[in-house]
A and B are shown apart, each in its own frame.
Chain A
Amino acid sequence: MTMKDYVIRRLIVIIPTFFLITVIIFTLVHLAPGDPTTMMGGARPLREDVKEKIRIEYGLNQPIPVQYLIWLSKLLHGDLGYSYISSSSVVEMISIRIPLTVELVLTAESLSIAIAVVLGVIAAVKHHSIYDSSCSVAALIGYSTPDFWLALMLILVFAVWLGWFPTSRPETVGLTFATPFYALLDHLKHMFLPVLTLVAVWTAYLFRLVRSAMLEVLTQDYITTARAKGLKERVVIYKHALRNGLLPVVTYVGYSIGLLFTGAVVVEEIFALQGLGQLMVQSSEARDYPALMGLSVVIAIMVLIASLCADIAYAAVDPRIRYD
């Protein structure tokens, strides 16, 4: 099977998967007893007749499956409804915030992969050395560290005590007159700690993965063959071994997009970054029903696309998979 066929097959599978996702999200939102009108009105719950009016207006009096279908059809037309809280279009709310989250996650993930691969390969090659043991221990600790606590500690040390970095927001408020270069620098200063938090935890896990994958690859027969051919050890490791060792990493990255988002939520909330994660928390707090559903679908789609890319990347690297 060629790559093209594989890609087409994967793309076709996306359609039922997408529908399944919409069902899951809809189900999750409706798990709680009652309907959104119970939450509205804040401290003073609304009168029953007001609630009934709202129900009719928003179509909440329809049976659940019908509500689902109505929502789904609107979704397919690109209409995610309007927020209960801010009355702005959900699509608008989401689109403003996408760039920041994407920037945060992509930066952190790329850095993590780069660092983890370099350190992991060296650790595998120098198995049983001090370098290997200390990196492994550090990775274990990093991997056990709660990301939100790490964020707080970093803020405490580097922003509050040392004052090297700002504590929140993606840029200094009111910096509109600065030159592009200065604006970029400012932005980097603000993003440094958030990215660092994510990188610390993600690199730890990726390192363990790369190391164990490489350790297994290095025991394979084809590595002995490569050496017996007279190749330099460097070529054996970085050409023959690495390509095979990275396969589990690609798979993991594809699977773990969800985990990445979890980290992003926490970091955005703590550092007051206006991304999708922060919106998720705000909408959940406010019980903003349409925003919650729309946001979840968008996030799910992004995750879907990311894992599709990872699948394709994997198939590009490992020829065996195309024949599954």
Chain B
Amino acid sequence: MGSTTKDAVLKIDDLRTYFFLAEGVVKAVDRVSLKINEQEALGLVGESGCGKSTVAHSILRLIREPGRIVGGKILFEGEDLLRKSEAEMRKIRGGKIAMVFQNPTSSLNPVFRIGSQIAEAIKLHQNVQKHEVKKKVVEILDKVGIPSPSERMKDYPHEFSGGMCQRAMIAMSLSCNPKLLIADEPTTNLDVTIQAQILDLMRILRKNFNASILLIGHDFGVISEICDRIVVMYSGKVVESADLGTIFKDAKHPYTKALLESIPRLNIETERLRVIPGDVPELIKPPSGCRFHPRCEQAMEACSKKEPALIEIEQGHEVACLLYG
């Protein structure tokens, strides 16, 4: 990695998060490294089960038994989060690093009002007078586009639609001006039209709040709306990382290429959609060598024996594939 760490808000080094199950050890995140710069939006892409959500949870140390972070470093503003005490982590969670989840309606506590849940976050991380809190809640709800915020803050989550719940979640996470916003599949469970609205919102907010974003998803279309750089994960490992343009025009890793080709495109005539054959590998007994080799069209003899390392093939573009070194 040639770029300096001067601008990096988040730098993950060699992260390993394993799940210790009765059937065996699942290496959900196996030596993952990535970097997010100041005010940058990084997209983390991959199929279900590739470990991207686990990376997100690991950053905030939300991993619970039977999972455990077993190694690596997570440097946030220069400090290793894995060395911090629980009390220090609590200050960071919801404060400097905030997270938005996949199921907005079920991610909000059904028995508390929206306003009070947001207020809870504000009271926790900011030194705000009691009477000021309500004002701030209304302010932030307004900023995320919730109509009549002072009325609607008294509502309960089940009175909000899916899209509105997600806005409220985003409001909650932005209310304390985080430096890093982690969004774990924020639009996956929403209607396509609502998806577009939420993405628009996130784009605007990114500008106004100067936060870095880690956007996790499996849909390239969604990711490309906001992100500057993309990291592709497969079976617990990073297989490629580059900026948005490069990925779309010049993807090198066979998996990335296959992912891109399986996106249906309206302007290109194809007979059948390109499908990646095979199934996502079992993480307890992953394939030997390169994990993608059983499904790879360009697999070579060596691919089943040697695990490729993540190598920078050009400025800002890394690939883990034996085709390139």
- Return the CB mask of B156-190 against A: 1 if under 8 Å, else 0: 10100000000001001000000000000000000
Q: How far is A222 from B99 in the complex, measured between Cα atoms in Å? A: 12
Nearest B residue to A127 via CB reads B65
Q: Does A144 contact B (CB under 8 A)?
A: no
Interface of chain A: mostly helix, strand, loop or mixed: helix
Name which of B93, B94, B108, B109 has the most chain A CB atoms within 10 A of its CB: B109
A221-241 CB contact bits vs B (8 Å, 1 = yes)?
110111111111000000010
Residues of B within 8 A of A230 (CB): 89-95, 121, 124-125
Q: Are A220 and B106 in contact (CB under 8 A)?
A: yes
A226 nearest in chain B by CB position:
B109
Stretch of A21-29, A77-85, A116-124, A314-322 with 4 or more beta carbons under 8 angstroms from chain B: A314-322
Q: Which of B89, B95, B107, B158 is A225 in contact with, Cβ under 8 Å?
A: B107
**Which chain B residues (95-150) contact chain A, with CB distance < 8 Å?**
95, 98-99, 101, 103, 106-112, 120-121, 124-125
Residues in A with CB closer than 8 Å to B90 are 230-232
Please state if A320 and B158 are interface contacts (CB–CB under 8 Å).
yes
List residues of chain A with CB within 8 A of the CB of B89: 230
A residues 231-266 touching B (CB-CB < 8 Å):
231-232, 240, 243-244
- Residues from chain A with a CB closer than 8 A to the CB of B95 are 230
B214 CB contacts on chain A under 8 angstroms: none
A317 touches B111 (CB 8 A): yes
**Contact string, B60-95, partner A, CB cutoff 8 A, digits 1/0?**
101000000000000000000000000001111111
Check if B110 sits within 8 Å of A228, measured CB to CB. no
A229 touches which one: B103, B112, B156, B172 (CB < 8 A)? B172
B98 engages A228 (CB within 8 Å):
yes
Q: Which residue of B lies closest to A240 (CB)?
A: B109
Asked, given contacts A228-B98, A229-B120, whether A318 binds B107 with beta carbons under 8 Å apart, the answer is no
B62: which A residues are within 8 A, CB to CB?
A: 224, 227-228
- Asked if A224 and B110 make an inter-chain contact with CB atoms under 8 angstroms apart, the answer reads no
Are B109 and A222 touching (Cβ within 8 A)? Answer: yes
Chain B residues closer than 8 Å to A225, beta-carbon distance: 101, 107-109, 169
Name the A residues within 8 Å of B124 (CB-CB). 229-231
- Chain A positions near chain B (C-beta within 8 angstroms): 220-222, 224-232, 240, 243-244, 317-320, 323
Q: Would you list 6 pairs from A and B whose C-beta atoms are within 8 A, ordered by A residue?
A: A230-B89, A231-B90, A244-B109, A244-B110, A318-B111, A323-B158
B residues touching A (Cβ–Cβ < 8 Å)? Answer: 60, 62, 89-95, 98-99, 101, 103, 106-112, 120-121, 124-125, 156, 158, 169, 172
Nearest 10 pairs between A and B by C-beta? A230-B93, A229-B94, A230-B94, A221-B106, A222-B109, A221-B107, A319-B156, A230-B90, A228-B99, A225-B107
